[in-house]
Chain A
Amino acid sequence: MERIQVGGVSLEVTSVGEGPPLLFLHGGDYFAQHRDFFETLARQWRVFVPRHPGFGRSEQPDGFRTVHDLAYLYLDLIDRQELGKVTLVGSSFGGWIALEMCVRCVEKIDRLALIDAVGVKFGGREDRDIADIYALSHDELLARTFSDPAGAAPDYSRLTDEEAVLVARDRQATAHYGWRPYMHNPGLRQWLHRVRVPALVLWGDGDGIVSADYGQKLCRSLPKARFELIRKAGHYPQIERPAEVADAIDRFARAEVLW
């Protein structure tokens, strides 16, 4: 495990591979299940994965209370690590952070890939755009999260105490940032026109947390975005279909942007 300091904040980071820089912002849960995805990406990219403040072994600074704080932190991180122009990839909660970064500043962002992102509210006040993961039974949560829960969901009873504490910290930190308003910023939608970079919106066809319909609305709200479904995948396609997701990102990075 590596650590970096961004401003006064100490973050755990994973840094693997050689190639152009790719900054991956993880979602709220199942971080330990990303190993295959990172290894696949590392064949083409210099992959840089910070653990968000409060997650994993990253510290939770007192003043960090909203996704805005995370967005500014990662804009700082790109500057201070001198990563150059990055391909920014955000999954779920990390997609929300990525959007908050892009509406602020895309100077150091080459392209944006969102994977089953949250963060935007499209429906009315009585519509639930994003499933309430805290109100679902354990079985329903897994069924909505994974296309194949039996194959993809981790067996928590086999974790060491230390590993289980890391998962608990991830869940606590996700709630810290995303509890209310639930997993979105009510003001974000009106600024999405500022995401002035080519964007790829990837979505698991079986995502029961945020539907593909939500993904298409998100895609249409961005100035230069294309939508692509990942088959046989739920809310974390990069866990269930790591090769397909990595391939989609590679193709997107190489493509002449015509949209």
Chain B
Amino acid sequence: MKVWHFSEMAYHPAWPQLRDSYRVIVPSRLYDPKIGADLYHRYLDEWALCDELGINIMTNEHHATATCADSVCTIPMAILARETKKVRLLALGMPIGNRNDPIRVAEEYSTLDVISRGRIEMGFVKGVPFEIAPANTNPVDLMERFWEAHDLILKAMTSHDGPFNWEGTHFHYRSVNVWPRPYQQPHPPVWMPVGSPGSAMEAAERGMTIGVLNTGWVRTPPIFEAYRNKAAEVGRPMTPQRLAYMALIGVGDSRAEGERRADQILGYSRTSGIVAPQFMNPPGYASPALSAQALKTSGAGFRAGRIQSRDGRNIDPRTMAAADAIDAGLVFAGTPDDVFAQLCAFYDHVGGFGHLLMMGQGGLLSHEDTVANLTLFSREVLPRIADLGV
């Protein structure tokens, strides 16, 4: 199994001043760039350490938020492409339905791939509903734009005979000619985060690797199952390497220490869904049938949080206790033995996967704790799962 360390580079110093919304409408006067600089360097140091620990690197991006100060997922990757030498670099990723210029995305990914000498993995993401307001993109045809951008980016990265023409529904270029061409041939691996069986099937048809985030014990199996079935149906070779699961991981020399670390990382889950409701369900982002249910139950907005315990209880992520998060399969925590056992149980429950997206830092977890968390994981857990999901 490949393991990837992921952090949202949270600007947590602003959190105590926030209440109803951690996103979209939070004024940037709450951001102190001097503190922000220290935080960026610290998070980058933790990723750089991963190169020594044999843990791959994953970045993401969000906008107008104190929960994630990484607003351009390829910028930390640009630094790490040179600062690291061995591990692979996954940007999960680029919200291509929200970006106006897919050619620029192809250029960014190609450049990163060449500088890193072929270590880039390209994530294309739909983006959560509250990314719509900062991007001001039309939510109704978001996925139409997503797939057109996807097709254009891949064609741009794999065409090497001079300019071609693209006059699509959403994107118009008369001279597409991306330099540099990517290092990996024909192009870097393509990933997409998914949250439903339907989108898993769309990814399976195209042979993309899917990452599932925050789906836990109850919602993950049908997503993986849908992917496997669709891959078989369309004749795509199925390997565990097509499936990735994200978990928050706290490991310690004692169970209490590991659980304390996980509890601090859970600051991510407890804050990331706190959004003013009007941004939670922009019209057309979800189907009319889903939006209709939201309308009937909560006026205009969606209710955050669809986390379920193993026995089907709804868990509010904003107040989630570590024990509940472990039960729900969102968190693996404790001693290395505990984490290994929880991971194996989850692996068997969902039918296997080839990538563990490890949130090894989140919330208020300090630099010292993050280094210890990653180091202990690398030493005590990584060797034991090397043969899983290959």
Q: Which residues of A contact B (CB under 8 A)?
A: 134-138, 141, 156-157, 159, 161, 164-165, 167-169, 171-176, 179-180
A-B contact pairs, 28 of them (CB 8 A): A134-B282, A135-B133, A135-B279, A137-B276, A137-B277, A138-B277, A138-B300, A138-B301, A157-B297, A159-B292, A161-B292, A161-B293, A161-B296, A165-B289, A168-B283, A168-B292, A169-B288, A171-B284, A171-B291, A172-B140, A172-B284, A175-B138, A175-B282, A175-B284, A176-B140, A176-B141, A179-B137, A179-B140
Chain B residue nearest to A60 (CB atoms) is: B140
**How distant is A61 from chain B, measured CB to nearest CB, in Å?**
14
Most buried by A among B276, B279, B283, B297: B283
User: Chain A contacts of B139 at CB under 8 A?
Assistant: 175, 179
- Chain A interface main SS type: helix
Contact A176 B295 (CB under 8 A): no
List which B343-380 residues lie within 8 A (CB) of chain A: none
**Chain A residues within an 8 Å CB radius of B300:** 138, 141
Contact B283 A175 (CB under 8 A): yes
Which residues of chain B come closer than 8 Å to A137, judged between CB atoms? Answer: 276-278
Please determine whether B140 and A156 come into contact, CB atoms closer than 8 angstroms: no
Residue numbers in B under 8 Å from A134 (CB-CB) = 133, 278, 282-283
**In the complex, are the beta carbons of B133 and A167 less than 8 A apart?**
no
Q: Are A172 and B301 in contact (CB under 8 A)?
A: no
Is B136 within 8 A of A164, CB to CB? no
Closest to B301 in A: A138
B299 located at the interface, meaning its Cβ lies under 8 Å from any Cβ of chain A in the complex: yes
Size category, B interface = 20 to 34
- Cross-chain contact B292 with A165 (CB below 8 angstroms): yes
A153–B282 CA distance with the chains assembled, in angstroms? 20
User: Which residue, of A135, A141, A171, A180, has the highest number of chain B Cβ atoms within 10 A?
Assistant: A171
* Contacts beyond the supplied A135-B133, A171-B283: 11 A-B pairs with Cβ under 8 Å: A134-B278, A134-B282, A134-B283, A136-B278, A156-B296, A165-B289, A167-B292, A168-B295, A171-B291, A172-B291, A175-B284
Query: Closest residue to A63 on the B side, CB-wise?
Result: B169
Question: CA A192 – CA B288 in complex, angstroms?
Answer: 35
Of all chain B residues, the one with the shortest Cβ separation from A162 is B292
| Interfacial residues of chain B within 253-295, with CB under 8 A of chain A in the complex | 276-279, 282-284, 288-289, 291-293, 295
Which residues of A are found within 8 Å of B136, using beta-carbon distances?
179-180
Cα separation A115 to B138 with both chains bound (whole Å): 26
Cβ-closest chain B residue relative to A178: B138
Q: CB distance B276 to A168 under 8 Å?
A: no
Residues in A neighbouring B133, C-beta threshold 8 A: 134-135
Query: Contact: A180 with B291, CB < 8 Å?
Result: no
Q: Residues of B contacting A161 with CB < 8 Å?
A: 292-293, 296
Q: Which residues of B contact A156 (CB under 8 A)?
A: 295-296, 299
Residue contact B288 to A172, C-beta cutoff 8 Å: yes
Bound CA–CA A172/B138 (angstroms)? 10
Residues of B within 8 Å of A168, CB to CB, are 283, 288-289, 291-292, 295
Out of B137, B295, B297, B301, name the residue touching A167 (CB < 8 Å). B295
Task: Report which of A135, A157, A174 forms a contact with B283, defined as CB distance below 8 A.
Answer: A174
Closest Cβ–Cβ distance, residue B255 to chain A (whole Å): 43
Given known A137-B276, A164-B295, A171-B283, contact A176–B138 (CB-CB < 8 A): yes
